[in-house]
Chains A and B, each alone.
Chain A
């Protein structure tokens, strides 16, 4: 199995259903791993590949309903397709809130399940790409020194070099050097690039400290109330004029 070959995990306590699901998914040329319980799935190391989980929500023992919460809180959540013997609307609502791709009530057609699996894998592939990109950005972010992060925060807040220099009590020339290093380290070609990167970083647990510590100012600065999408464009104009 190559790292990129997708995996479909199946958790169902009923052996017949488990085997049937396995056969159906394999008939689509997908790799399947089956588990009789949520515990079995938890204990199993997961492959580094696009994946999804087909989960029976009426599992005895530790409820199958605990698993989605755990998964979405984990570092690599995978999309879940819920299957149930007798689905209730509240159950479906809860499942969807917890990130279900699909909520299928038994008996369901093969096309429904395959469609849901394909969609889930597609979603996970995208999420994995997103995560990989984010990891990349994080790496770049972690190259910055605290001083550079301060400078960055003020740059994306739309301050001129002169203003930044006076705010940080440094020479304008020094700020320019810092600014150049920030651009290089973050592999940004322009201020709008920088803003986009910072946007990506914002809200990530590992980046929570730096940009906001810059004198307790939020990234959005004075235009805090403005709608999100218009923000980078407006600042980029100011940045390029510098």
Chain B
């Protein structure tokens, strides 16, 4: 600290930041505990200058070698900075003139040679003092810069660490969010299935009833005298078909029922639509809704979570059915089409002829907990939109020219899939 001020350094702002000072500062610190370490440092610096020159003069005098004054100047300037250095130089010039030059112990300059020598020596002394002090100052500044730099580097490292920690935290939060979304999607899916339980039960019990009846018929044909094997075989074949049909329904429902991690697979959207319409067949019939599917051939597959996308379609269809709950039977129809989307993507449209969405609600239907249904949870479209968006797609609603609404799901092309 003392040295930095003594060297004409910019003390004030640096005070908080300790700069390593191998000489000066460390030795200056113990002197004058609380009084003024800075002043004692200055005094010490100048003392070193005076002592150094005196020692140099003494050595030169006894050993009769002149150049020992220059190291004294160097030491003074190095130790004390510009002020003490200059003092040492001036003392050296004066001292050498008085002590060493002939005639001794006078300031008189006897010869021209001596004058020249004195001039050169003076310039050299001053120059050496200035050079050393400057070098010293530069070095100190450099050291301080280095210190600042390493401080900054460690700050940066710390900041980096903090950022890394934050990033981890954010990743964990994102994971937790994904988990929560999956949970929510699952819950809404189960709720959704709850809404269509009656028709699912019907879809399962119809083929099962047929199995039981066919079983009885088969037995009767075999018990007949003579047994009618052709009829019995036909009945047995129908049993197999019906049992398969029932298990298909169960399979469709079970895949939606499961709480499973979203897995990305390659999905044929047309097949997904057909499967979903099959699942919804009973529900559509129960509400007397006629459904028309228009599936474009040769659409590229999309990458995604099949269960999630099926949930979206079921949800859109349920909304459509609900929108037509007050319509006359002949106004109850729904169209589901697949089209080619932008950039090799695929679009699925679910169009209904229902009551439509009020203009003021158009922006709100995708909000969570917004429902126009009295018993509606208001999660369906919000979840659907978030599912579509995790697929990198978009879900939008548009009023039809006539009655009803068209919901449009755009899904991007499968990355790497020939678009």
Contact = CB atoms under 8 A, between A and B. Distances in A.
A60 B209 contact: no
A14 interface: yes
Contacts of A17: 206, 209-210, 213
Contacts of A110: 212-213, 215-217, 219-220
Contacts of A14: 206, 210
B217 A23 contact: yes
Interface residues of A, number: 24
Contact of A24 (B205, B217, B286): B217
Given A28-B220, A60-B288, A23 B231 contact: yes
B363 interface: no
A87 to B, nearest CB: 11
For B207, B209, B211, B234, the residue with the greatest tally of chain A CB atoms inside 10 Å of its CB is B209
Interface in A102-133: 106-111, 113
Contacts of A109: 212, 216
A14 B288 CA distance: 15
Contacts of A86: 198, 201-202, 205
B231 A20 contact: no
B238 A19 contact: yes
A107 B217 contact: no
A242 B198 CA distance: 71
Interface residues of B, number: 32
A113 B214 CA distance: 12
Interface string A91-106: 0000000000000001
Most buried by A among B213, B214, B231, B245: B213
A215 B212 CA distance: 63
A14 to B, nearest CB: 5
B285 interface: yes
Contacts of B198: 86
Interface string B218-257: 0111001000100100110010011001000000000000
B277 to A, nearest CB: 16
Contact of B216 (A13, A24, A58, A106): A24
A117 B74 CA distance: 129
Contact of B221 (A19, A27, A60, A108): A27
A161 to B, nearest CB: 64
A26 B231 CA distance: 10
A52 B373 CA distance: 44
A61 interface: yes
Nearest to A59: B285
A23 B285 CA distance: 26
Contacts of A20: 209-211, 213-214, 217, 235, 238, 242
Contacts of B235: 20, 23
B205 A106 contact: yes
Which of A21, A24, A26 gathers the greatest number of chain B CB atoms within 10 Å?
A: A24
Interface string B178-219: 000000000000000000001001100111111111111101
Central interface residue in B214, B224, B231, by most chain A CB within 10 Å: B214
Contacts of A28: 220
B2 to A, nearest CB: 99
Given A20-B235, A107-B213, A61 B288 contact: yes
Contacts of B208: 106-107
Contacts of A19: 210, 214, 238
A26 B235 CA distance: 12
A85 interface: yes
A125 B206 CA distance: 31
B62 to A, nearest CB: 127
A204 to B, nearest CB: 39
Interface in A22-72: 23-24, 26-28, 58, 60-61
A21 B285 contact: no
Nearest to B201: A86
A160 B245 CA distance: 77
A21 B288 contact: no
Contacts of A241: none
Contact of B241 (A16, A21, A107, A111): A16
Query: Which 4 pairs, one residue from A and one from B, show the smallest C-beta to C-beta distance?
Result: A110-B216, A106-B209, A20-B213, A27-B220
9 contacts: A16-B207, A23-B217, A27-B224, A60-B286, A85-B201, A85-B205, A85-B206, A109-B216, A110-B215
